[in-house]
Structure 1
Amino acid sequence: MKMLKKMAALLLVGVMALALLTACGDEAPAKSTAEQAEDAMTIAINQSLEADFKNDETLKNLARKAIADRVEEDGKFKDGFMVVDQENKVMCVIFPADRSTALGFTADQVAQMKDPAFTKAFVESFRNASNMDDDDVKKINAIGVGAVTKGDKTYIAIAVKVKTAK
């Protein structure tokens, strides 16, 4: 009987030790390709503009909506690649804006977005597509980067809010 009690106690200690280890770890769930693209572009914009913008939730949602409204499942545009809200001084560009290239980014291309050369070229293409000169860029007071994955491609849109003269 003593042996049975010792075995039960030992078994109970083992179960309790395993229970302590269950769900341990501080790893966050892996980010989706779209979330990785949003993060990479936000960092790239800040580096390019030498700024410290946060990815504004309202503008990010506007950018995501622009993609959902304008990009079909096969990657073709239903409408233009730029959305302008004059009243709220918001402009949103869906990328790539050059329609001669294949639309959307693969997961591998999103992984490359951490490369400063790639992201600098991307931000420069935003400036060209939006016709923003240096003075216009200085008027940006909020950005939102939204990304949506359709099929195996991720589509990115950048929305910017511009300061207005009072």
Structure 2
Amino acid sequence: MPDYAYVRQTDGFTCGPTVAMVAAAALDPQYGATVTDPATEQHRIHAAANRLWPRKLGTTPWGVAAFISRHTAPLGVRYGWRLFRGDLGPAIAAVECDWPVAMLIGKGVPRHWVLIVGHDGDDLHCFNPARGVVTTIPVADVRARRLEPLGFPRAFALVLPRRVV
């Protein structure tokens, strides 16, 4: 992952665009080199990903997946989303192959995006755009709905790579 850990979301609605930007920059260094103003880029992505969705409701899983896919399609990979039902196997396999995975978390409703950028033993390393840091979370805590160090306890959805070659 490039050194985008210093990037923070600019407001309470740009966690999804920030996660999409960091993932795309990690997978497409040419794109990453063009991001000279992360705050402006977050708002550009937010507008592009939410053409029919109210921006005050954040960014949809399909919007995050579509933006990342624009930068991975030349690599033969598209991103798609799925509801989280307790299975982290595909997410762990992806990050072990250097494909970041976006995870939508919340309490009663989905509220915040984080980016899984690594896996080490029983832990996941998650970039949290609210703080601009990578936080280590035990895999068991994701399944047990104990994600409070990321701001909310529960995972709702994953945005994962899918081969299309």
- Which TM-score applies when normalising by structure 1? 0.27
Pair member with larger Rg:
1
Which protein, 1 or 2, shows the higher relative CO under an 8 Å CA cutoff with sep ≥ 6? 1
Whichever structure has more strand as a proportion of its residues is 2
Give 1 or 2: higher helix fraction: 1
TM-score between the two structures when normalised by the length of structure 2: 0.27
